[in-house]
Amino acid sequence: MQEEDLTPGVDLLESMRSVGYSLEAAIADLIDNSISAGASLILVDIEPITGSHIAILDDGVGMSPSLAIEALRLAGSVGPRTSADLGRFGLGLKTASLSQARRLTVITKRDRVTTALRWDIDHIKTTGRWSLLRLSAGEAAGLHWADRLGQQPSGTLVVWENLDLLLGDSSDPGGFVRARVAPLIESLALVFHRYLHGRQGGIAIEVNGNSVSPRDPFLATNPATQQKPTEHIAVGGAEVSVTAFTLPHVSKLSPQERKRPDLGDQMRESQGFYIYRNQRLISHGHWYGLARMDELTKQTRVQVDVPNTIDHLWQLDIKKSRAEPPASFKTELRRLMGRVVEQGKRVYTHRGRKVDSTDTIHLWSKVRERDGFRYEVNVEHPLVSGLLAGMPTADASKVLRLLETISDSFPSHDLFAEMAGNTPVAAVQRVDESALELLRLYRDSTSARPQVETVVATLAHAEPFSAMSNLEETVRLIWQEQPSGT
Ligand SMILES: Nc1ncnc2c1ncn2[C@@H]1O[C@H](COP(=O)(O)OP(=O)(O)O)[C@@H](O)[C@H]1O
Ligand SMILES: [Mg+2]
């Protein structure tokens, strides 16, 4: 048998351009490289007038001349990967860049040596060879931020020009790219939120002068967020950590948080697993079929931390924007999910849960019917039953009918529509005063005045008294008052 080396044709580069990167994913892939290179400041410039270039400058360790050449080779070999490396295939720099632009220039500086290299699709097409261009210092100096890199001790500048695939046939390239800045910032704020916190050495990212602040999808700093203990699951010899969060009801969000689309009208699409690879968000917004993207589960988000050692099991795609968990892991997740989703649902349903002997007695009961459920005023609530008991029968049945009518006209459709749009239900401020009034009503409605201890025992589990810290004291005071009308 004989063998021959068959190198790929140069058209491969053109084909690689259509992997399907979004602008956000392409820039995130370059930021991965900067983070792996130890950068602490990463600047992105999207030329806002003509859309002529996008530049990404970092202050990482930079590359030696030979490393820079390897870095520009498709699937180049750049040595062993550390466990903190955000790279994977040795393709990102090339495919992400060329998915947006026809020309990719890398200027990198290490140990005071600067190297400038370029892949230019048009040049390759003309030569028909994999001809990498080396720029002279003078040629490199004309590029945006080349001077800035020159002033740094080390770092790497990536410049994309001729943004054909990004711009498409837009007649206003400047306007087109300017409109992309805000969504890019939103996306990077989420994808790198755990780096931007400063925990991993504190990384700062700026896009066109705007600093990107972290967007924690789990609202870990909001005191009303419920965080479950982290569970560790063994997968393929590595450990995957899973932490479930139940986000606060919209009424407990800060005004700042309420402005976030993922906590507002996009809340429902934002539930599900958040898969992180080395703390970098890879994908989110799905349950891998383990739960439904339901209105009731929309408070639940689950952080899944995957190390880069089991990439092969997770079917990580080139763009690092999709990862499918291995089957064994899905089985474990399914086990965890039942409990987690149930907790998320309670954020919505606990106020209406059906009375049971150990639980709070609610003023509204939820009644299951064959075709769904409805709410009704709980006439067994001591307040209602006490009031009715002290009334002449004819009056009591009138009040009962009124309560039934109120129950039947409960505006559930309207409530659902409002809540689906995340309108907060305003908290009622007058609970305290009205509770006192209700206590007086209760005192006067029962014909034989019961003992304070009995009253406290009866009401301690009934809304709204169950929320009062000084119920016994209050009942005592009110019981000592002269009943009205005597
Ligand atoms: N900003 C950068 N700073 C230092 N080295 C870089 C930078 N960008 C890329 N490199 C080097 O180029 C190599 C190839 O990058 P890339 O094509 O993105 O593939 P991968 O990140 O999967 O290794 C990296 O492994 C790294 O050694
Ligand atoms: Mg990379």
- Helices 452-459/471-480 angle, 10° precision: 140
- Nearest CA among 213, 208, 277, 288 for reference residue 29: 277
Which ligand lies nearest to the CA atom of residue 109 in the structure? Answer: 1
Round to whole Å and give the CA distance between 293 and 287.
7
Q: Which CATH architecture has domain 11-211?
A: 2-Layer Sandwich (3.30)
State the distance from the centre of ligand 1 to the C-alpha of 305, rounded, in angstroms: 23
Which ligand lies nearest the alpha carbon of 76? 1
Tokens of 413: 């459709």
Ligand 1 lined by 31 (C-beta under 6 Å): no
Q: What is the pTM of this model?
A: 0.73
CA 33–ligand 1 middle distance (angstroms)? 5
Could you confirm whether domain 226-350 is CATH 3.30.230?
Answer: yes
Residues in the chain: 486
Quote the ligand 2 centre to 93 CA distance (angstroms). 6
The protein residue whose alpha carbon is closest to atom 27 in ligand 1 is 78
Looking up tokens 């005592």 gives: 476
How far apart CA 252 and CA 219 sit, in angstroms, is 11
d(CA 113, CA 116): 10
Mutate which of 78, 113, 158 for ligand 1 pocket (most atoms within 8 A of beta carbon)? 78
- Break the chain into its structural domains and give their ranges: 11-211, 226-350, 364-480
User: Which residue's CA is the closest to the ligand 1 atom numbered 9?
Assistant: 33
Question: Ligand 2 (ion): which residues have CB within 5 A?
Answer: 33, 87, 92
The per-residue pLDDT string of the chain (486 residues; one tens digit each, 9 = 90 and over) reads 899 988 888 888 888 898 889 999 999 999 999 999 999 999 999 999 999 999 999 999 999 999 999 999 988 777 777 888 888 788 899 999 999 999 999 999 999 999 999 999 999 999 999 999 999 999 999 999 999 999 999 999 999 999 999 999 999 999 999 999 999 999 999 999 999 965 556 899 999 999 999 999 999 999 999 998 999 998 888 899 999 999 988 788 898 898 999 998 888 899 999 999 999 999 998 888 887 777 778 889 999 999 988 888 888 888 888 888 888 888 888 887 776 766 666 655 544 444 344 467 788 887 777 677 788 888 778 778 777 777 777 787 788 888 888 888 888 888 887 877 777 777 665 556 777 888 888 787 766 777 888 888 888 888 888 877 788 888 898 888 876 554
Which residue minimizes the CA distance to atom 13 of ligand 1? 71
For atom 8 of ligand 1, the residue with the nearest CA is 33
Span from the CA of 297 to the centroid of ligand 1 (angstroms): 39
| 8 A C-beta contact, residue 364 and residue 377 | yes
471's CB contacts (< 8 A; 6+ apart) are: 456, 459, 460, 465
CA distance 187 to 44: 14
Question: What's the rounded Cα separation, in Å, for the pair 292 and 298?
Answer: 10
Give, for ligand 1, the residue of 21, 36, 109, 110 to mutate: max count of ligand atoms closer than 8 Å to Cβ. 36
Alpha carbon nearest to ligand 1 atom 11, residue: 71
DSSP-derived 3-state class of residue 187: helix
